């Protein structure tokens, strides 16, 4: 079985984001970049399936600038077999990403597409669902547990009321949630091995190109700074402030 694992290069979650002076977006100049945490969880799960003998090959694909090769190398060091970089200096919207991934899936013919439920930069949580619709494959989102037996995937997913268990006929699309696993740290020998693994550099035109975007960013701004609290000397004063100043009661 072949697994396709899309990954995205994003601003490291430990770094405080800075807004550009013209408020056109987040300033990424000289900032630490890393693999999207949910993508990392998906790659870890794919590697675990390979270690169990369920999967034979893991192909990692990323859409982004040439520097996204570093993100793919991270996935290769974790245990993936080869990578594909669809190089572009633009940040495609979710529908365009789904269309590019569909073209990759049709070319690679994986049995399972295992990806993060969302990227922490755009927080769209849309690519997995769109990709499933475009491919007409079954999907299971927010997976907290995954078992693959033969041509069937059993997925436990988190819903508002608790846990829901689904069985999907492969090929299928599964998106990983936070509690699916804890990603491993790549060992130094595996990091060295990853340098010898293949990364195919492609362009968006190799997979059908990009169409005119449907979405545009009008403004990006930092959230308002929180003001300090105040102490009150009685419950009556507290209630009065909640009524007149906070307006919550």
- What's residue 109's pLDDT? 96
Percentage of the chain modeled with pLDDT above 70: 100
Task: Give the residue from 110, 99, 104, 121 showing the smallest Cα distance to 13.
Answer: 121
d(CA 137, CA 139): 6
Give the number of domains in the chain: 1
d(CA 216, CA 201): 28
Phi–psi pair at 81, nearest 5 degrees = -95, -40
Give the range among 88-92, 105-109, 210-214 with minimum mean pLDDT: 210-214
Which positions ≥6 away from 149 have C-beta within 8 Å?
none
- What's residue 223's pLDDT? 85
Residue 122's domain comprises 2-246
CB 10 within 8 A of CB 120: yes
Across the range 5-20, mean pLDDT stands at 93
pTM over cut 0.75: yes
- What's residue 38's pLDDT? 97
Pairing of strands 152-159, 139-149: antiparallel
Mean pLDDT of the chain: 93
Q: Find the CATH number of the domain harbouring 22.
A: 3.40.50.620
Q: What is the pLDDT of residues 14-70, one digit of tens each?
A: 998 889 989 888 888 889 999 999 999 999 999 999 999 999 999 999 999 999 999
- What's residue 229's pLDDT? 82
pLDDT of 248 > 90? The answer is: no
- What's residue 75's pLDDT? 97
Phi–psi pair at 202, nearest 5 degrees = -120, 170
Confidence of residue 163 (pLDDT cuts 50, 70, 90): very high
CB 93 within 8 A of CB 105: no
- What's residue 28's pLDDT? 87
Q: What is the pLDDT of residues 75-99, one digit of tens each?
A: 999 999 999 999 999 889 999 999 9
- State the CB neighbour count (10 A cutoff) for residue 11: 19
Confidence of residue 182 (pLDDT cuts 50, 70, 90): very high
- What's residue 198's pLDDT? 94
Confidence of residue 141 (pLDDT cuts 50, 70, 90): very high
């Amino acid at each position: 079985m072949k697994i396709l694992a899309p990954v995205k290069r994003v601003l490291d979650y430990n770094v405080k984001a800075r807004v550009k002076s013209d408020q056109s977006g987040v300033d990424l100049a000289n900032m630490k970049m890393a693999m999207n945490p949910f993508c990392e969880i998906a790659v870890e799960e794919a590697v675990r399936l390979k270690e169990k003998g369920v999967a034979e090959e893991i192909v990692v694909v990323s859409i982004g600038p040439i520097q996204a090769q570093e993100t793919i190398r991270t996935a290769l060091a974790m245990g993936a077999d080869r990578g594909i970089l669809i190089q572009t200096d633009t940040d495609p919207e979710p529908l365009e990403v789904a269309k590019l991934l569909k073209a990759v899936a049709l070319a690679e013919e994986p049995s399972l597409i295992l990806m993060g439920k969302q990227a922490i930069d755009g927080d769209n949580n849309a690519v997995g669902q769109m990709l499933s619709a475009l491919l007409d494959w079954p999907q299971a989102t927010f997976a907290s547990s995954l078992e693959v037996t033969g041509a069937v995937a059993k997925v436990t997913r988190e819903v508002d009321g608790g846990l829901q268990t689904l069985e999907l006929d492969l090929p299928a699309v599964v998106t990983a949630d936070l509690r699916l696993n804890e990603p491993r740290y790549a060992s130094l020998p595996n990091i060295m091995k990853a340098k010898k693994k293949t990364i195919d550099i492609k362009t968006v035109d190799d997979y059908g190109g990009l169409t005119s975007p449907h979405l545009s960013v009008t403004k990006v701004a930092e959230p308002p700074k929180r003001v300090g609290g105040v102490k009150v000397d009685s419950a009556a004063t507290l209630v009065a402030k909640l009524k007149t100043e906070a307006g919550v009661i």
